[in-house]
Amino acid sequence: MRRASRDRGYAPGTARAAFAHPTFRTIYLGAFASNIGTWMQNVVLGALAWELTKDKLFVGVMMAAQLGPLLILSIVGGMLADAFDRRRSLIALSLQQAVFSILLALVTAPDSPNRVLMVLTVFSIGVGNALYAPIFSAVVPILVPRRDIAGAISLNSVQMNASRVIGPIIGTFLYARFGPSSVFLLNAASFVAVIACLTRVTLPPPVHSGSQGLHRVVEGLRVARADRVIRQCLVTIFVFSFVCLPFITQMPAIASEHLGIDSDGTAYGMLYACFGLGAIIGALSIGTVFAAAPKARLTRLCLIGFAVMLTVFGTLRVAAPAYVAILLLGCVYFAVITSLSTVLQEDLDDGVRGKVMALWIMGFGGTVPFGGLAGGAAMNRFGIVPVLVVGALVAVALAAYADLRPAQAEPSDPALADAA
């Protein structure tokens, strides 16, 4: 497995080199199928919450129930990733999410579903995802040699975002014709794909760092505090996700109030699909066109590009150009995420990878729903545009803050300095 990319002549660190490794390829394809189902469910949940209430705050509550557990339980998932058999853990958590997706289909079958029961069921799915995500994130980089990590992360970002394109199109089509329950049942079925792939492979065992119990939980924090690059990566993803991304959870409201697009129609699905297509382009570019470019510099440039496109998208009032704007917004958004994640993963030791990636998942996924909740409340009071402009300004500030270049040791010997 380790020699695959070299034997086939692929440049190390590229997406093609990573995809040449059989175990990575199998896990990748299973996760892709499952994530299509997940994004079908995600987009329909937001649309259903908006159609039931026309309340931005309730949309935020639904997204908080879905993704909020990531903020608290990701660190537990990171502990599990570094302590227990990862394949068994991933299979068990896939089954748990499938069962509660079936329950969600039953809860939403009536014309006026019980909103409290909806939120509780979605929260239960979110708990499984919060434990699953850091384990999966810790597995992906160790399926390839360290030289191919950048390509693996880029490809993983591509499948996450390709599912954002395919899932919303299928989900909104089924929602408009058969109701939300059909979407949630199909999502439950999609977990069969990842379970089938997991049963076919053997995953490397976790590298034990020697810590136990509570020390496992806090070890990732100690690593982040000691390493400047890791610390800045984590601070950037936490602030970026909370302040700059409320537009994601509030997409149904923005589409309806700014662009005249109904959230229960295929036009909304296409809008979300354009966002996902842009994210694919942005993620794939990091492992192809920009494979050799310094990721620290790319992160800063893409943060500035994100600020520009968020402002453009937020000020549009016509649907047609919004499809183009959100495609470009998705492109720079996930170029930021992929380049930032690459910098982080390349700086990590395998012994603490799970625990540090749990902190990443907390920032990347866990803060988004609470940012959406706060953003929804702020949009109710101040309007959509001011909230998006604040997000754009914070992205510019993060571009100034995020100096992710590794520290250069200063040689004490003048001869060494001259040689350098």
What is the torsion angle, in degrees rounded to the nearest 10, for the CA atoms of residue 17, residue 10, residue 343 and residue 214? 30
H-state helical runs in 108-147? 115-139
CA distance 73 to 183: 26
The residue among 41, 57, 353 whose CA lies nearest residue 223 is: 353
pLDDT of residue 144: 74
DSSP-assigned letters across all residues of 188-228: HHHHHHHHHHHTT--PPPP---S--THHHHHHHHHHHHH-H
pLDDT of residue 386: 94
Give the pLDDT means over successive 10-residue stretches in the chain (420 positions).
48 67 81 86 85 82 81 73 78 92 93 90 90 78 72 75 77 86 91 86 65 59 84 93 89 88 79 84 80 85 95 93 94 89 77 73 78 86 93 96 70 38
pLDDT of residue 184: 93
- Provide CATH code, domain 10-202+213-405: 1.20.1250.20
pLDDT of residue 123: 93
- Residue 67 near residue 149 (C-beta atoms within 8 A): no
Q: Which amino acid is present at 70?
A: L
CA distance 292 to 14: 9
Q: How far apart are the first and last CA of the chain?
A: 36
Per-residue HEC secondary structure of 259-285 comes to HCCCCCCHHHHHHHHHHHHHHHHHHHH
pLDDT of residue 411: 40
Q: Which amino acid is present at 302?
A: C
CA distance 234 to 293: 21
pLDDT of residue 412: 40
pLDDT of residue 407: 62
**Could you state, in order of their start, the residue ranges of all structural domains in the chain?**
10-202+213-405
Record the tokens describing residue 235, joined without a space. Answer: 């601070």
CA distance 68 to 13: 33
CA distance 10 to 6: 6
DSSP-assigned letters across all residues of 268-331: HHHHHHHHHHHHHHHHHHHHTTTTTS-HHHHHHHHHHHHHHHHHHHHH---HHHHHHHHHHHHH
CA distance 99 to 70: 19
